[in-house]
Amino acid sequence: MTTHWDESQVPDMQGKTIVITGANSGIGYEATRILAGRGAEIIMAVRNYEKGQQALQNIQNVHPTAKLQLMRLDLSELASIRNFAEEFRQKHHQLSILINNAGVMMPPYSRTQDGFELQFGSNHLGHFALTGLLLPHLLATPSARIVTLSSIAAYAGKIDFDNLDGSKGYRAFKFYSQSKLANMLFARELQLRLAQHQADVISVACHPGFTHTNLASRGSGKPVSGIFGLLSRSFGQPALMGALPTLYAATSPAVHGGEYIGPDGKGGRKGYPKSDDHIDKLYQADLSKQLWTLSESLTGVHYEWKQPEFASFS
């Protein structure tokens, strides 16, 4: 009989420090709840502080001794990302796991304060910058992990370097797919660079399949409505099931870096976590290197691979 991997197999996480973006709802909330229940110290990186406080309280109602900290982070603003990283540096010397979870899906056309198309700017560039700024703490931590959420929408994605800001035309799903492909390419390229520098850190991509969350609320944070909301409620799997690939990628000893973890059901839409070979089909070295170079240029964040001086601290 096949034994499926589920939340009961998440190991003891005492002594682990974890940053989860978008931790106040959906997959981020479920991952936070499970990992906090295993003893991890969780930094809940959230854009809406009020909703973050409610989510934190809900988890502490279930796990009174949960070690949770709320910090503001708006991934659509480079200044907010830098402020978050600086505040984190002042309080912590190490980071065990970074979970790049937050995202926005199919909003009306808009740009971030830094001039990026909102989905590419938040979903990819925001997490690219955050990961680079927190990399010293990951390098300072034995067996650290970086988990970046992609989507089955990435399979239809294409990186349009001539129209990344949407000024030459915008279609919401096309740009969402582009941002999720960028997430996938980033995770694999990051793994290759970590391995090249012999870092004790691994990078893993994952996707939740078709999961009912408020991601498609067009950036409003409100419950999903309309036809998509009806389909999501009717056919999507619960948020806890959608969080299993994230939890597996973050904690399973079977993960070695570079994998793409998703549900094992038909089309990867539902089910229990397994390795998905779509990343091998979609990863292109030249494309990923071009994306990496451009991301450094746009964000002003250049990755430093040298282990920091505070690495000996706990």
Instruction: DSSP letter for 210, please.
Output: S
Report percent pLDDT > 70 for the chain. 90
Cβ(208)–Cβ(27) under 8 Å? yes
Per-residue pLDDT band for 155 (boundaries 50, 70, 90) equals very high
What does the pLDDT read at residue 241?
96
- Whether 92 maps to a domain, the answer reads yes
How many other CB atoms are found less than 10 A from the CB of residue 193? 15
State the helix-helix crossing angle for 78-91 and 127-139, rounded to 10 degrees. 20
pLDDT mean over 256-281 = 95
pLDDT tens track for 178-190: 999 999 999 999 9
**What is the percentage of the chain residues whose pLDDT exceeds 90?**
86
Kindly report, residue by residue over 59-107, the tens digit of the pLDDT: 999 999 999 999 999 999 999 999 999 999 999 999 999 999 999 999 9
Out of 29, 176, 248, 260, the active site residue is: 176
Q: Are strands 260-263 and 273-275 parallel, antiparallel or unpaired?
A: antiparallel
Q: How many domains does the chain have?
A: 1
CATH number of the domain that 252 lies in? 3.40.50.720
Question: Could you tell me the two tokens for 88?
Answer: 């984190």
Task: Work out the pLDDT band at 203, boundaries 50, 70, 90.
Answer: very high
The mean per-residue pLDDT over the stretch 139-162 comes to: 97
Query: Which domain, by its residues, includes 77?
Result: 13-301
Model pLDDT, residue 267: 85
Say if residue 148's pLDDT is above 60.
yes
Long-range contacts of 231-239 (CB under 8 A, 24+ apart): 235/210, 236/210, 236/211, 236/212, 237/209, 237/210, 237/211, 237/212, 237/263, 237/269, 237/270, 237/271, 238/211, 238/212, 239/26, 239/27, 239/29, 239/30, 239/211, 239/212, 239/213
Count of alpha carbons within 13 angstroms of residue 218, beta-carbon side: 10
CA neighbor of 232 nearest in space, from 258, 212, 209, 218:
212
Residue 192 belongs to a domain = yes
Dist CA 99 CA 150 (whole Å): 12
176 is catalytic: yes
Q: What is the pLDDT of residues 229-255, one digit of tens each?
A: 445 444 679 999 999 999 999 999 999
**Does residue 296 register a pLDDT over 60?**
yes
Query: How confident is the model at residue 306, as a pLDDT?
Result: 85
Predicted confidence at residue 223, as pLDDT, reads: 52
Read off the tokens for 100: 């790049």
- DSSP character for 169? -
pLDDT at 21 > cutoff 80: yes
Establish if 30 belongs to a structural domain. Answer: yes
The reported pLDDT for the residue numbered 307 is: 79
pLDDT score, position 314: 36
Q: What pLDDT does 226 receive?
A: 55
Sign of torsion over alpha carbons 26, 111, 70, 39: positive
- Residue 309 belongs to a domain: no
Residue 237 placed within a domain: yes
Mean pLDDT of the region 271-300:
97
The closest of 245, 242, 218 to 229, measured between CA atoms, is 218
pLDDT averaged over every residue in the chain:
92
Considering the domain boundaries, does residue 2 fall inside one?
Answer: no
- The per-residue pLDDT for 41 is 98
Dihedral sign for Cα 64, 66, 71, 72, please: negative
Cβ atoms of 209 and 269 within 8 Å: the answer is yes
Question: What is the DSSP annotation of 223-257?
Answer: PP-HHHHHHHHHHSBPHHHHHHHHHHHHH-TT--S
Residue 285 falls inside a structural domain: yes
Q: For residue 294, what pLDDT is reported? A: 98
Residue 306 in any domain: the answer is no
